[in-house]
Amino acid sequence: MDDGLKKLLATHGWRTKAMEDLLEYRFKDKTLPLSALNLPGRRTSIKDNTGLAQVGKAVMELFLITDGYDKDMDPENISTLLTFVLDNSKLADIGTNKGLGRCMMGMRSSTANLTPLYTARTVQALMGAVYLDSDGDLEKLYEAMMAIGLLPKPGAQLPV
């Protein structure tokens, strides 16, 4: 690990810890949650969250579609569930309510400056980080989605 990365981890380790606590997941690669929190346009030794957000969106869709298929859900109901769970405004609300604004890097510290789209993408990026760090373990992804509040509690009425 180079010195710049060591310094980054030492300075921002609290952010990684906060995300581990929020997601109830311990990262092997401590830079992944920092990348998930790093908004586009910020120059650092870690990547911004754009790629992780793409991974997160794709794997959450994969999980929900596969889970619905395994439960013999009607394809229209799966589509409704995708919209319900992965809607950007819902992702942004969850991220805001969970305090992601204080951990996100690249915007002014005031949460008033955080656009809902950046917050939604950060939630997606965190799910992408969990998926990659867990070597593609969909159970770990499910647990993180439950921990952050993306999925309804077992037994809750779904919109389908």
pLDDT digits (tens), the chain, 160 positions: 677 777 877 788 899 999 999 999 999 999 999 999 999 887 777 889 999 999 999 999 999 999 999 999 999 999 999 999 999 999 999 999 999 989 998 865 444 556 899 999 999 999 999 999 999 999 999 999 999 999 877 766 666 5
Cβ within 8 Å of residue 33, ≥6 positions away? 15, 16, 19, 20, 27, 126, 129
Nearest CA to 35 out of 158, 116, 124, 97 is that of: 124
Domain that holds residue 47: 3-148
CATH number of 61's domain:
1.10.1520.10
Residue 6: per-residue pLDDT? 78
Q: Indicate whether 133 belongs to any domain.
A: yes
Residue 11: per-residue pLDDT? 83
Beta-bridge partners for 105: 38
Domain total in the chain: 1
Residue 41: per-residue pLDDT? 80
Residue 159: per-residue pLDDT? 60
In one-letter notation, the amino acid at residue 95 is G
CA distance 90 to 95: 9
Q: Indicate whether 37 belongs to any domain.
A: yes
Locate 116 and state its tokens: 């809902």
Residue 7: per-residue pLDDT? 80
Residue 160: per-residue pLDDT? 56
Locate 158 and state its tokens: 């779904």
Q: How far is CA 92 from CA 13, 25, 154, in A?
A: 24, 21, 23
Q: Indicate whether 83 belongs to any domain.
A: yes
Cβ within 8 Å of residue 2, ≥6 positions away? 45
